A and B are shown apart, each in its own frame.
Chain A
Amino acid sequence: MGVLADAWTWLATGSNWSGEDGAWHRLGEHVYVSGVALAVACAVALPLACWLGHIGKGGALAVNLSNAGRAIPVFAVLALLMLTPLRTAGYTPTIIALVLFAVPPLLTNAYVGMREVDRAVVEAARGMGMSARQVFLRVELPLAYPLLMTGVRSAAVQVVATATIASMVGQGGLGRIITAGFTTFDTPQVVAGALLAALLALLVEAVLVTADRLLDPRRRATAAGRRARWTSPLPTAPGTSGRSS
Chain B
Amino acid sequence: MSAHGAVAPVRENCLTANDWICGEYLRTRAQELTDATVEHIWITGTSVLIGLLVAFPLALLARSRPAFAGPVLGLTTLLYTIPSLAMFSLLLPLLGLSAALVVTGLVLYSLTILVRNILAGLAAVPEEAREAARGLGYGPARLLWEVELPLALPALMAGVRMATVSTVALTTVGALIGRGGLGDLIDDGVQTTFKAQVLAASVLCVLLAVVADLLLLGLQRLLTPWTRIRRAEEAV
Contact = CB atoms under 8 A, between A and B. Distances in A.
Interface in A162-182: 162, 164-165, 167-170, 175, 178-179, 181-182
Nearest to B97: A182
Contacts of B187: 75, 79, 168
Interface string A102-124: 00000000000000000000000
A71 B70 contact: no
A132 interface: no
A19 interface: no
Contact of A75 (B70, B81, B120, B186): B186
Residue from A82, A202, A230 whose CB has the most chain B CB atoms within 10 Å: A230
A73 B120 CA distance: 28
Contact of A73 (B81, B86, B183): B183
Interface stretch (A8-16, A52-60, A141-149, A193-201): A193-201
A168 B189 CA distance: 12
Interface size bucket, A side? 35 or more
A92 interface: no
B141 to A, nearest CB: 23
A235 B93 contact: no
Contact of A187 (B93, B109, B199): B93
A76 B120 contact: no
A234 interface: yes
Contacts of A168: 85, 173, 175-176, 187, 190
B27 to A, nearest CB: 21
A168 B93 CA distance: 20
Residue from A82, A167, A198, A240 whose CB has the most chain B CB atoms within 10 Å: A198
B220 interface: no
Interface string B162-179: 100110111011011100
A83 interface: yes
Tell me if B's interface is mostly helix, strand, loop or mixed.
Answer: helix
Residue from B83, B93, B159, B213 whose CB has the most chain A CB atoms within 10 Å: B83
Contact of B82 (A202, A231, A233, A235): A202
Contact of B85 (A72, A73, A167, A233): A167
A242 B162 contact: yes
Nearest to B177: A182
Interface string A65-107: 0010011111111011011000000000000000000000000
B81 A205 contact: yes
A243 interface: yes
Given A70-B166, A168-B173, A175 B123 contact: no
A209 to B, nearest CB: 11
Interface residues of B, number: 56
Contacts, number: 177
Nearest to B93: A3
B210 interface: yes
B170 A198 contact: no
Contact of B120 (A71, A175, A231): A231
Contact of B158 (A175, A182, A194, A233): A233
A191 interface: yes
Interface in A189-215: 190-191, 193-195, 197-198, 201-202, 205
Nearest to A74: B169
16 contacts: A71-B209, A71-B213, A75-B175, A76-B183, A79-B187, A162-B83, A164-B86, A165-B85, A168-B176, A178-B176, A191-B92, A198-B82, A202-B81, A233-B124, A234-B117, A240-B113
Given A75-B186, A187-B93, A190-B92, 10 more contacts: A73-B202, A76-B202, A168-B85, A168-B187, A170-B190, A182-B177, A198-B90, A235-B117, A240-B80, A245-B84
Interface of B: 69-70, 73, 78, 80-87, 89-90, 92-93, 109, 112-113, 116-117, 119-121, 123-124, 155, 158-159, 162, 165-166, 168-170, 172-173, 175-177, 183, 186-187, 189-190, 193, 195, 198-199, 201-202, 205-206, 209-210, 213
Which 3 A-B residue pairs are closest in the complex by CB-CB distance? A233-B120, A194-B89, A76-B202
Interface of A: 3-4, 67, 70-77, 79-80, 82-83, 157, 160-162, 164-165, 167-170, 175, 178-179, 181-182, 187, 190-191, 193-195, 197-198, 201-202, 205, 230-235, 240, 242-245
